[in-house]
Amino acid sequence: MNEKELQKADLVPNVVYQNDKKSPNTLSALLKTRDAYCSSPVQGGFRMLRVEGNSKRHAFLALVVSQDVRKPASWNDTINGGILTYDGDNDTPNTDVKFTKGNKYLDKIFADDRLESVDVYPIMFFKSTSKREIEFVGLCFPLVNGLEKSEKDGVHNFRANFYIDQKTVVTKAWLTDLKEGRWKSSPHAPQSWTDYICDEMPEIWDADHAMVEPRTVLTRTTQIVFRRGLLQTQKSCLICQITDERLLIASHIKRWVDSKDREKVDPHNGLILCALHDRLFDRLLITFSSTGDLIVSKSLSRTTVEQAGLIAGKHYPGLEPFQHYLRIHRKRFDTNERL
């Protein structure tokens, strides 16, 4: 693409953008919305773009993982099950974890009250292999309690966990609105961003949720992130294969109330089930064996079992990664059967 095409191009997840120019700066061209610019964009780390005419407000952040920049071997950035684990950039021994600008950003981004503050901005995640080539990976959202501290050989650093939305296209129209300070009111904002900042709880997120008072916006964010994450890998109800997302529930295997924060967002602690099969699973009327076979409660009548499309002993492949949590579910199921 030439410079002009890049300036007009939408950001499509997992698309690699190339610049034809002799001395190209692809990210800079890509993020140029009107006359905005992006400073030193080829290096890894955070690049912040400011709102036009307001040097104090951020429009959005670009988080770039560059393969040119060497980080200590023990630090790495990985994407697993829709979760990005990103190591901060402090490598100076005996300094505060917030020694670097990048780590100061991380601290701010993960602050508990961030959604109530005015300093909330979208983060676009890129992977760069050279000045010429850059891949847009997706919009990323900080996970609840997603910032951990680490210490090695006197070096204090952060390890940050983000959920990456790899489905949503970021349009130039939205970027332009952000540059003009319309981060809340843009009609071009993608759904995942609106969900993130909005106050309304969608009706069906998680069956367990009925038992939990939505304490803060962050609770809701967790639910949204959990559901989105699961839907990236599980496209339909495990049991009946129904795919209409309005009928699908991100069901925690280990109950929400029993789960630690990390477990609440762990993609292996969730199954996508339709409303009916979620209820059966949630009420301990079905579970899965250690080999992935369906176990049906004795308390269900033969008619109900048939009507619900359940086949006791039917094998469901691919459940191995979920077994850690399924073991806990089976225990509760067994206790319930004995009552």
User: Which stretches of the chain bind Zn ion, using CB under 5 A?
Assistant: 237, 239-240, 274, 277
Closest CA to 158 of 94, 112, 100: 100
Rg, C-alpha atoms of the chain? 23
| Residue 330 C-beta: closest distance to Zn ion, Å | 20
- State the nearest-atom distance from the C-beta of 201 to Zn ion, in Å: 23
Name the residue nearer to Zn ion (CB basis): 171 or 234. 234
Token pair of 178, please?
Answer: 């952000």
Strands (E), 44-132: 45-51, 54-66, 78-80, 83-87, 123-128
Q: Which residue has the tokens 């000045």?
A: 131
Q: Which is nearer to Zn ion, 164 or 239 (CB)?
A: 239
Q: How many CB atoms lie within 10 A of CB 298?
A: 6
Closer by beta carbon to Zn ion, 236 or else 336: 236
Nearer to Zn ion, 143 or 239 (CB): 239
Least distance (Å) between residue 141 CB and Zn ion: 28
Burial class of residue 250 (count of CB atoms within 10 Å of its CB; 0-12, 13-18, 19+) = buried
**H or E element, residue 146:** strand 133-152
Q: How far is the CB of 281 from Zn ion (least distance, A)?
A: 10
The DSSP symbol for 202 reads P
> Judged by CB, which is closer to Zn ion: 199, or 244?
244
Which residue's CB is nearer to Zn ion, number 264 or number 277?
277
Least distance to Zn ion from the beta carbon of 333, Å?
Answer: 18
264 token code pair: 């609440």
Q: Do residues 7 and 29 make contact, with C-beta atoms less than 8 angstroms apart?
A: yes
Least Cβ distance, residue 247 to Zn ion (angstroms): 8
Question: What is the C-alpha to C-alpha distance for residues 114 and 120, in angstroms, rounded to an integer?
Answer: 6
